[in-house]
Amino acid sequence: MSLAPIYDVAIVGGGPAGAAAGAQLSKAGKRVIILEKEAFPRFSIGESLLPCGNDLLREIGVWEKLENAGFLRKYGAEFCTGDGSRLQRFWFGQNMGTSHEYSYQVERAHFDQLLLDHARSQGCEVHEQTRVETIDHQTAESMTLQCAGLNGAITIKTRWIIDASGRSAFSGGKIGLHRRSTQKSRRVAIFGHFEGVFRNGGKAEGHITIARFAKGWFWLIPLAGGRTSVGVVLPSKDAGISSGRGLEEIFQEAVDSNDEVRTRLHGAKIMAPLRATGDYSWKFSRFATPRILLTGDAAGFVDPIFSSGVMLALKSAVLAAEYIVRASDSDRSLTRWECFSYTREVTGWMQQYSQIIRSFYDRAGFEVFMNPSPFLQIPGSIGRLLGGNTHPGFLDRLRLAVFHFICTLQRFVRMAPPIHSLR
């Protein structure tokens, strides 16, 4: 066992949140260690980025590297019905101007490696294959983390902890935070990489396609080099994994029952066995204590339908780093007000998505979503949210409120044409 010198900040997890927080803190002159249980590059799901995330990638100083990494540009998103009867396409440039005209579709193994290497280049000490197991000896000024590394146990002494451990949510339970579900029923996502999937032409080649059907939805994310990430999200009770059905069987059944997806996948070849993960939205009651801040998925998980996860992870990480720098420069812990204010800000971003996610899963809401009133300029407001704008102005908030009101009305009065395949 070794006892390392005291670090300013120990970060649990080297995904996008951990790497972004590490880069920011190192730039600010803090002594930072990132502890990551896997060896990078490692597979991760969550490949579609949002243009508002570009600002954060610029802020942490990795944007140039990303621009030169050969990822496929994503100029927008399209939503369709599984039977192909409806299509609604959004272009980021039309709604957010040329500064946010595109983002990227990324293979996460490569993207996460790029971010973690960037954190290293900014001065972070990174230990891969090092799992953090417990938090001990918490005093007002410091804590110790017990880790299992490649060469045995390691003890890390630190003044601050950033939990960036993703959905495994390392610290929340350990420090007694209450975990709240923000979704009624459990879902499962089954996904894989394919070659030979149909692609749009021109600038729409990089669009993510979301195909909604009665039971769930598909994503099709085109990646550089001809690969496409394809996944289906289903209610867990309908998927039948627990009753012994194989992933291939469940996936194929969903493909076969959706003409549009079946046509796009015709002749495509799967590159590796399908994978599955639970997809259940929840969040902790608080995201900060005086010395521990929760970032990204470790604070809470937002349904992935609008591809907001990586952007929210980067955004919360950059904010957490700001809070730590401010407090540690004055040689103090976070005040109760700061803990509250960090939680409130990050929760607010998540909530921007929660309401529109509910509309997407609700049949009536989706019917309106596929026919938003151009007269009220609602598509522009939705488009900006889809681009990652978590701070809508007054008019956007008003238009989104009208949109949600129309979604509720649609249940009783026909405001938008019905979509029969969803019934």
Ligand X SMILES: Cc1cc2nc3c(=O)[nH]c(=O)nc-3n(C[C@H](O)[C@H](O)[C@H](O)COP(=O)(O)OP(=O)(O)OC[C@H]3O[C@@H](n4cnc5c(N)ncnc54)[C@H](O)[C@@H]3O)c2cc1C
Nearest to 279 by CA among 181, 217, 188, 350: 188
User: CB neighbours (10 Å) of residue 336?
Assistant: 11
CA–CA dist 413, 418 (Å, integer): 11
Q: Quick one: DSSP state of residue 48? A: B
Nearest CA among 319, 329, 311 for reference residue 294: 319
Q: How far is the CB of 335 from ligand X (least distance, A)?
A: 25
287: alpha, beta or left? (left if phi > 0; alpha if psi -120 to 50): alpha
Q: How far is the CB of 198 from ligand X (least distance, A)?
A: 19
Of the pair 129, 355, the CB lying nearest ligand X is at 129
Of 124, 127, 176, whose CA–CA distance to 9 is shortest?
Answer: 124
Which residue intervals of 60-194 are DSSP H helices?
Answer: 63-67, 92-96, 108-121
What b/e string do you get for 148-176 counting C-beta neighbours within 10 Å, with b at 16 or more? ebeeeebebbbbbbbbbbbeebbbbeebe
- The nearer residue to ligand X, 81 or 281, going by C-beta atoms, is 281
Least separation in angstroms between CB 127 and ligand X: 9
Query: Considering the complex, what minimum distance in angstroms separates the CB of residue 311 from ligand X?
Result: 6
Closer by beta carbon to ligand X, 315 or else 399:
315
By beta-carbon proximity to ligand X, the closer residue of 104 and 419 is 104
Q: Rank residues 384 and 399 by Cβ distance to ligand X and give the closer one.
A: 384
Nearest distance from residue 47's CB to ligand X, in Å?
5
Residue whose CB is less far from ligand X, 215 or 404: 215
Radius of gyration of the chain, Cα coordinates, nearest whole angstrom:
22
Give the footprint of ligand X on this chain (CB under 6 A).
12-18, 35-38, 44-49, 131-132, 164-168, 170, 189, 231, 277, 279, 296-298, 304, 307, 309-311, 313
Give me the least distance between CB of 305 and ligand X, in Å please.
8
Query: In the complex, what is the shortest distance from the CB of residue 413 to ligand X, in angstroms, rounded to a whole number?
Result: 34
Structure tokens at 96: 């957010």
Name the phi and psi angles at 251, rounded to 5: -60, -50
Shorter beta-carbon distance to ligand X: residue 277 or 335? 277
